Amino acid sequence: MKLTILDVDTGIDDALAIAYAVNSPELNLLGITTGFGNVSADEATRNTLQVLQLLGRSEIPVVMGADKPFRRETTRHRAYDVHGKDGLGNIGLPDPMTAVTEIHASDYIISMVKEHPHEVTLVTVGTQTNMALAIEKDPSIIGLVKEVIIMGGAVTVPGNVTPYAEANFYADAEAADFVLRSGLPITLVGLDVTMQTVLKRGTLLDWRCGGSEIGTAFADMCCFYMDFYEQVNPHLGGCALHDPLAVAVAVNPSFIKTKTMQVHVSMDEQSLGQSIGKTSEKGIEVGLEVDKDAFTSQFLERVLPCGKEQLK
């Protein structure tokens, strides 16, 4: 089992990624770190606790991190239009009964990596801020991390918040650039591959018809996300499974095919957050192809197993 830390800005697809990760026997989820992105860090933390409570997995530690970008005072990006004003499709999940672990996410990452040298996989599906803070505070962890799988960027395709930039990189471009250039062993799961993965509206009906609390909550949540996608991307036929695909790559790296590239992130005003890559012998692994059927079928099998136990 891979010792794993999931870093989130929960968010609807983050919630799906959490469910997929906790139901994947290949992963031993040490903890979930949170930060700003889709929503504020406070909201992402509350949402994460609510999702774990829904899944019956409140014992998993949740550790709050950055509420502002690495080198700026404010972020340019929030995604309430995509994920709802509470970040989870306004479905009103019950307040969490558990509290966060009282340490900053970046310190938690450092301590876990040092406690388990060469064993920790980091899956980051929000901004790269917590990761950037961790390696700036303690660069020795760069050589001790097993792997970092990042949902972010768009190397060969257009962005999703501007024509150039993907949301997670746009929200903190400096952190993304710092992490990509750090020498960490990174696999980039960007829009290049995530936009090929689609959750169809019919699946939401199946989830709802199952009658479980979890299935109904996820169907309601995803309905909001899907409505947004249908407006901005009507040809996709559903909504993209961005964050779950990053978890999938931790579970089974062969879901994607990658190319080694040097990638940096644009700081130009117009193209802020754009990920620019060139093929190279050394660098990071950039996902360019995905076995979408194999991934989607595993994701659908796993995302709701605890829901099945609750069938009424």
Q: How far apart are CA 123 and CA 33, in angstroms?
A: 10
Residue 273 and residue 173 in contact, taking contact as beta carbons nearer than 8 Å: yes
DSSP result, 270-286: TTTTBEEEEE-SSSEEE
Q: Pairing state of beta strands 186-189 and 147-151? A: parallel
- Looking at the Cβ atoms of 34 and 298, the one nearer to Ca ion is 34
What's the closest the beta carbon of residue 165 comes to ligand BDR, in angstroms? 9
Indicate whether 38 belongs to the interface with ligand BDR (CB under 6 A).
yes
From 1-9, 80-88, 109-117, 220-228, give the range in contact with Ca ion by CB under 5 A: 1-9
- Looking at the Cβ atoms of 166 and 243, the one nearer to Ca ion is 243
Q: Which residue has the tokens 């994607």?
A: 256
Indicate whether 33 belongs to the interface with ligand BDR (CB under 6 A).
no
Q: From the list Ca ion, ligand BDR, none, pick the one residue 91 interacts with, judged by a Cβ distance below 5 to 8 Å according to partner type.
A: none
CB burial string 272-304: b at 16+ within 10 A, e below: bbbbebeeeeebbbbbbebbbeebbebbbebbb
| CB contact set of 255 (below 8 Å; sequence gap of 6+) | 245, 248, 249, 290, 291, 294, 295
Indicate whether 54 belongs to the interface with ligand BDR (CB under 6 A).
no
Supply the residues annotated as catalytic. Answer: 9, 242
Indicate whether 177 belongs to the interface with ligand BDR (CB under 6 A).
no
Indicate whether 125 belongs to the interface with Ca ion (CB under 5 A).
yes
Indicate whether 172 belongs to the interface with ligand BDR (CB under 6 A).
no
Q: From the list Ca ion, ligand BDR, none, pick the one residue 79 interacts with, judged by a Cβ distance below 5 to 8 Å according to partner type.
A: ligand BDR
Q: What is the dihedral of CA 126, 152, 60, 117, to 10 degrees?
A: -120
Indicate whether 243 belongs to the interface with ligand BDR (CB under 6 A).
yes
Of residues 235-254, those binding Ca ion (CB under 5 A): 243
Indicate whether 7 belongs to the interface with ligand BDR (CB under 6 A).
no
Of residues 64-93, those binding ligand BDR (CB under 6 A): 79, 82
Residues that bind ligand BDR (CB under 6 A): 11, 13-14, 38, 79, 82, 125, 151, 160, 166-168, 242-243
